[in-house]
Amino acid sequence: MSRRAPRPLRRGALAAPGYRVVGHMSRGRPLDVYDAWSDDRRTRCVVKRLRPDCAGDRGARRRLLAEGRLLRRLSHPHLVRAYEVVERPDPAVILEPLPGDTLDRWLHEGPGRLPPAAVAGLGRQLASAVAYLHGERVLHLDLKPSNVVVHAGRATLIDLSVARAPGKVRRGLGTPAYMSPEQARGGAVDEKADVWGLGCVLYEAATGVMPFDGDPCEDGADPDRRAAPVRARRRLPAALGAAIDGCLEPDPARRPPVSDLWAALGGGA
C-alpha cells in the first residue's frame, strides 16, 4: 500500500525564515513551489523547497542548492532571478515573482499557437538568454514550454534544476519529449542540445503541437528520426520555418549555433 504524500504547507506557515505561505503553486518530485510573502522585502516572492517527504533526499537537496547558487550568480533580462539561497533549517531557493503564465498553459488553455511575428520574438528572447548561459559555460538541458513564462510579449526562462557544464550526462536527463537525440542516448552533450530544445519550443509555439509523438525518450534517441517540417503544419515565413527546422536536425553538427539562430530570427542592435 503506497504512502500518501503529505499536504503542502498551509497559508501563513513559514516556507523559509521570513517567507510566509500565501498559496501553493505547484508540486513535483521532489519539490514544492510556493507563493510567499517576504517580511523583509514587503512583497510577494516564490519559494522553491523540498517536499516534506523528500527532506532526507541528499541528492535533491544538493541539486536545489546548486540551482539556487547558479541563479544567484547569473543575471539576464530573460532569465529568472534568485534573491536568496536558504540552507537551514530546510533548503529553499527564493525567486522573483513573475507575472503571466507558462507558455505551455498559455498555448493549451488559450489560442493554441502564436502569430509568426510573436514566434520569432519569443525565439529571439530565449536565444538571447541561452546564448548568455552558454557564455557562462552552462547548458540548460530542459528547454520546454512549461519552463518559459510569458507576459505582455516578454519571455522569461525558468528552472535550471538540471543545468550543468558541457560534457557527459546520464541517459535521459531532462524531459523526454524535448530532449535532443544525443541527450536521450546519454554521453557527451554541448550547446547544440539546447539549440534542439529551442527548436522544440518554437515548433510548438508556432503549431500548437509537439514536434514528436509516441515514446519520445526511446524514439528521440534515434539519430535518423526527423520531425515533420514546421511549414507542413502551419503557413509561416520561409526564413522562420527554416530556422526552426534547422534546430531539429538530428545531427548536432548541422544545427546552427545559438548566436546564428538569434540573428536568423531578426536579432540585431
Q: Are residues 31 and 89 in the same domain?
A: yes
Q: Are residues 141 and 248 in the same domain?
A: yes
Supply φ then ψ for residue 191, to 5 degrees: -60, -25
Q: Are residues 174 and 115 in the same domain?
A: yes
Indicate which residue of 32, 104, 142, 194 is catalytic.
Answer: 142
Q: How many domains does the chain have?
A: 2
Q: Are residues 42 and 165 in the same domain?
A: no
Check residue 87 and give its pLDDT: 92
CA distances from 41 to 36, 92, 94 (A): 11, 17, 12
Looking at the DSSP bridge assignments, the partners of residue 33 are 26, 48
Instruction: Tell me how far apart the alpha carbons of residues 74 and 130 are, in angstroms, rounded to a whole number.
Output: 12
Tell me if 225 is assigned to some domain: yes
Contact (Cβ atoms closer than 8 angstroms) between residue 87 and residue 100 = no
Tell me if 175 is assigned to some domain: yes
Q: Which of 60, 95, 130 is the last residue of a domain?
A: 95
The pTM for the full model equals: 0.91
Tell me if 1 is assigned to some domain: no
Instruction: Tell me how far apart the alpha carbons of residues 39 and 94 are, in angstroms, rounded to a whole number.
Output: 13
Tell me if 66 is assigned to some domain: yes
Tell me if 167 is assigned to some domain: yes
- Residue 32 structural domain: 14-95
Q: Are residues 58 and 150 in the same domain?
A: no
Check residue 91 and give its pLDDT: 94
Q: Which of 63, 95, 127 is the last residue of a domain?
A: 95
Q: Are residues 107 and 239 in the same domain?
A: yes
Amino acid at 201: V
Q: Are residues 142 and 239 in the same domain?
A: yes
Q: What is the CA radius of gyration of the chain?
A: 19
Q: Which of 52, 73, 95 is the last residue of a domain?
A: 95
Tell me if 7 is assigned to some domain: no
Supply φ then ψ for residue 172, to 5 degrees: 80, 10
Residue 47's H or E segment, with its range, is strand 43-50
Q: Are residues 59 and 172 in the same domain?
A: no
Check residue 219 and give its pLDDT: 47
Task: Give the CATH number of the domain where residue 164 resides.
Answer: 1.10.510.10
Q: Are residues 60 and 124 in the same domain?
A: no
Per-residue pLDDT of the chain (269 residues; tens, 9 = 90+): 356 778 999 999 999 999 999 999 999 888 999 999 999 999 999 999 999 888 888 999 999 999 999 999 999 999 999 999 999 888 999 999 999 999 999 998 887 899 999 999 999 999 999 999 999 999 999 999 999 999 999 999 999 999 999 998 988 788 989 999 999 988 899 999 999 999 999 999 999 999 986 544 554 556 667 899 999 999 999 999 999 999 999 999 999 999 999 999 987 65
> How open is the CA angle 257-149-177, to the nearest 5 degrees?
60
Instruction: Tell me how far apart the alpha carbons of residues 109 and 102 are, in angstroms, rounded to a whole number.
Output: 11
Tell me if 36 is assigned to some domain: yes
Q: Is 142 a catalytic residue?
A: yes
Q: Which residues are CB-neighbours of 202 under 8 A, at least 6 positions away?
A: 119, 122, 123, 243, 244, 247
Supply φ then ψ for residue 28, to 5 degrees: -130, -170
Question: Nine-digit cell at 171?
Answer: 541517459
